[in-house]
């Protein structure tokens, strides 16, 4: 049997690429175990970490003994409290599907342990507290003091007059604060840098997170941050006699502003690589550009969509088909009647999902399209249907059309029969 010359050339190209890839591959050298080189502190201290509500929190266990092959994470609201919860299945792993994690659920249903790190999906204010990495015997290696803050204010671009008024107000508050006798502590807002533009080629948005912190020389020595005199406002390092609560400090803030940047030029694949991809049948997904995810959800129930691979420090944007969903219009808290909104953790909420929400949703990460989510909304079996449901209206329309058609046929038959009876005697008489 003769083999076509085209197939022989493709096979030779595939063999050549395979040998070249094998010749250039080198097995990596054994890396040093970070847990063996980093000793755990003799006195357990807590790293202070502050986040916004609805963010996904990742807490790595930076140290552990070599003989410990799995870790157990413990949670305490107050240090030394007898109410201690173990956030694990005592096997070191707990896998949670983040797409099924709702808001306000129990902490046990919103965490996962991966490679000794604890992940908390859509963290809430009540999740603030102490997280300890240890073993089933109760030996602790590393600890975190987590402070989850709610954004009480979302600021958007303002005019020059508003900007001057805001600057004057800040100056007045600064003067009043300087005149007040507060020698124990000072409350301030620490802002993250502005994120990159969350879209390219079209108008996008930039976000900046501001968290509440306290500066004082009287903080608890068992808690540490980048500076020994600074801790977040909700941290246990702040003495209770300061009287700081979530109601009497400014809390967190989220800033949003418009931006527009050009898209980077697309990289052109080498001819031999492109030929190999076409031969293996991968040319169509490569041309599409982004992975596609499918999600089906029951109608009239809340739904939360997360962008795959997004982290708290990333700039994330959402598009409903070709229509961008800007935070200036769909940010949570701007309008209490909004059914579709984006929270501070970059999640897209449907409260609830309806049949009109079916379609494709695109999410952007760091200015690049990252994924396409094709959403399907279905009715549950056995559910009582209402006349306002689209299916009920469609069935009622079909029934009425059939009834009207049958009535028309019946009337037509009666008229034909009546006409035949009235015309037939006259024909017979003649």
Q: How far apart are CA 48 and CA 191, in angstroms?
A: 16
Cα–Cα nearest to 78, from 133, 139, 132: 132
Q: What is the pLDDT of residues 33-69, one digit of tens each?
A: 444 456 676 778 899 999 999 888 889 988 877 777 7
Helix axes 271-280, 5-24, angle to 10 degrees: 110
pLDDT of residue 364: 95
Asked if omega into 197 is within 30° of 0 (cis), the reply is no
Place of tokens 């015997």: 137
pTM (2 d.p.): 0.67
Give me 124's structure tokens: 């809430």
Give me 237's structure tokens: 């390092």
Q: Give the 3-state secondary structure of the chain.
A: CCCCHHHHHHHHHHHHHHHHHHHHCCCCCCCCCHHHHCCCCCCCCEEEEEEECCCCEEECCCCCCCCCCCCEEEEECCCCCCCEEECCCCCCCECCCHHHCCCCCCHHHCEEEECCEEEECCCCHHHCEEEEEECCCCCEEEEEEEEEECEEEEECCCCHHHHHHHHHHHHHHHHHHHHCCCCCCEEEEEECCCCCCCCCCCEEEEEEEEEEEEECCCCCCCEECCCCCEEECCCCCCCHHHCCCCCCCCCEEEEEEEEECCCCCCCCCCHHHHHHHHHHCCHHHHHHCCCEEEEEEECCCCEEECCCCCCCCCCEEEEECCEEECHHHHECCCCCCCCEEECCCCCEEECCCCHHHCEEEEEEECCEEEEEEEEEEECCCCCCCCCCCHHHHHHHHHHHHHHHHHHHHHHHHHHHHHHHHHHHHHHHHC
Give me 17's structure tokens: 């690429």
Per-residue pLDDT 10s for the chain (430 aa) are 444 444 445 454 445 444 343 333 333 444 444 444 566 767 788 999 999 998 888 899 888 777 777 788 888 888 877 777 887 654 444 433 344 444 444 455 678 887 788 888 888 898 999 998 888 777 888 899 999 998 888 888 653 434 444 444 333 333 334 445 546 888 899 999 999 999 999 999 999 999 999 999 889 888 877 778 899 998 999 988 888 766 566 678 999 999 999 988 876 656 666 666 666 655 544 435 789 999 999 988 999 998 988 888 899 999 999 999 999 888 887 655 678 999 888 999 998 899 899 999 999 999 999 999 999 998 876 556 666 666 677 788 889 899 889 998 998 888 888 888 787 665 555 5
Cα–Cα nearest to 347, from 311, 304, 313, 377: 304
Give me 56's structure tokens: 């996904």
Cα–Cα nearest to 388, from 422, 412, 354: 354
The CA distances from residue 293 to 23, 78, 305, 306, in Å, are 36, 41, 11, 11
Q: What is the pLDDT of residues 214-242, one digit of tens each?
A: 999 889 888 877 778 899 998 999 988 88
């Amino acid at each position: 049997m003769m083999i076509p010359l085209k197939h022989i050339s493709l096979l030779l190209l595939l063999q050549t690429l395979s040998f070249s890839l094998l010749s250039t591959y080198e097995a990596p050298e054994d890396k040093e175990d970070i847990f063996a080189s980093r000793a755990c502190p003799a006195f357990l201290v807590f790293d202070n970490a502050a986040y916004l509500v609805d963010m996904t929190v990742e807490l790595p266990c930076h140290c552990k003994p070599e003989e410990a092959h799995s870790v157990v994470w413990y949670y305490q609201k107050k240090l030394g409290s007898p109410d201690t919860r173990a956030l694990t299945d005592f096997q070191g792993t707990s896998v949670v599907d983040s797409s099924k994690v709702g808001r306000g659920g129990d902490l046990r249903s919103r965490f996962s342990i991966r490679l000794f790190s604890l992940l908390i999906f859509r963290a809430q204010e009540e999740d603030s507290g102490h997280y300890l990495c240890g073993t089933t015997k109760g030996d602790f290696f590393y600890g975190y003091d987590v402070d989850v803050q709610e954004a009480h204010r979302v600021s958007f671009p303002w005019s020059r007059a508003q900007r001057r008024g805001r600057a004057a107000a800040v100056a007045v508050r600064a003067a009043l604060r300087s005149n007040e006798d507060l020698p124990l502590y000072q409350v301030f807002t620490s802002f993250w840098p502005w994120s990159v533009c969350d879209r390219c080629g079209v108008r996008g948005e930039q976000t900046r997170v501001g968290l509440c912190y306290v500066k004082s020389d009287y903080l608890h020595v068992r808690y540490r941050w980048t500076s020994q005199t600074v801790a977040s406002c909700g941290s246990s390092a702040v003495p209770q006699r300061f009287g700081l609560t979530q109601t009497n400090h400014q809390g967190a803030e989220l800033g949003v502003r418009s931006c527009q940047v050009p898209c980077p030029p697309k990289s052109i694949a080498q001819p031999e690589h492109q030929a190999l991809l076409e031969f293996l049948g991968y040319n169509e997904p490569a041309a599409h550009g982004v992975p596609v995810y499918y999600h089906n959800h029951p109608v009239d129930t809340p739904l939360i969509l997360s962008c795959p691979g997004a982290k708290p420090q990333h700039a994330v944007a959402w598009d409903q088909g070709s229509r961008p969903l800007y935070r200036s219009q769909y940010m949570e808290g701007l309008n209490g009647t909004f059914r579709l909104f984006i929270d501070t953790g970059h999640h897209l909420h449907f409260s609830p999902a309806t049949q009109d929400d079916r379609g494709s949703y695109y999410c952007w990460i760091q200015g690049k399209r990252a994924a396409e989510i094709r959403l399907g909304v279905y009715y549950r079996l056995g559910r009582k249907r209402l006349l306002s449901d689209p299916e009920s209206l469609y069935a009622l329309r079909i029934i009425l059309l059939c009834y009207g058609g049958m009535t028309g046929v019946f009337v037509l038959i009666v008229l034909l029969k009546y006409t035949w009876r009235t015309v037939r005697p006259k024909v017979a008489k003649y």
